[in-house]
Amino acid sequence: MITDGQTPTGAPALSWMPPLDPTSPAPIYEQILEGVALAVAAGQLAPGALLPSVRSLATALRLNPNTTARALRAVERAGLARAVRGVGMVVADDGRSKAAELARRALERELASAVRVARQLGMERPALVAALERVWQENGHADRG
């Protein structure tokens, strides 16, 4: 029987976790850290929410448990979560503000990468802005100001 929030394998459903990109220059553990930061910043993981264990996260993401352990240590060091004896890792009460900063830096790194590619292609700023607008619209975002 599958309980709410689990996959058919019994691993936790990670609907809040963006897909990992094995081709990204960012290590997988950092991508997991950023995924947690985005979920906390967006309110998908509220203060006190239980994060998956090392083993269940490794199973759900099909990763080596050492990688997921490293990622969860990074999440704790960043102040996004804290270990609670007998419970596991939970989102920190003040995790949202720390997560927002981490998520903003991740976004800026991605934007910097896009700007580098645009410049290599000889694209001018107005064309890059137009491309951003087009991608924004294609991803289902109406102009909200």
Q: What is the pLDDT of residues 68-93, one digit of tens each?
A: 999 999 999 999 999 999 999 999 99
CB < 8 Å & 24+ apart, contacts of 98-105 = 98/37, 99/36, 99/37, 99/38, 99/39, 99/40, 99/41, 100/41, 102/33, 102/34, 102/37, 102/41, 102/78, 103/34, 103/37, 103/38, 103/41, 103/42
In this prediction, residue 139 carries a pLDDT of 85
Residue 111 located in a structural domain: yes
pTM: 0.75
Within-domain flag for 10: no
Evaluate whether residue 59 is within a structural domain.
yes
Structural domain count, the chain: 1
Range of the domain at 116: 28-138
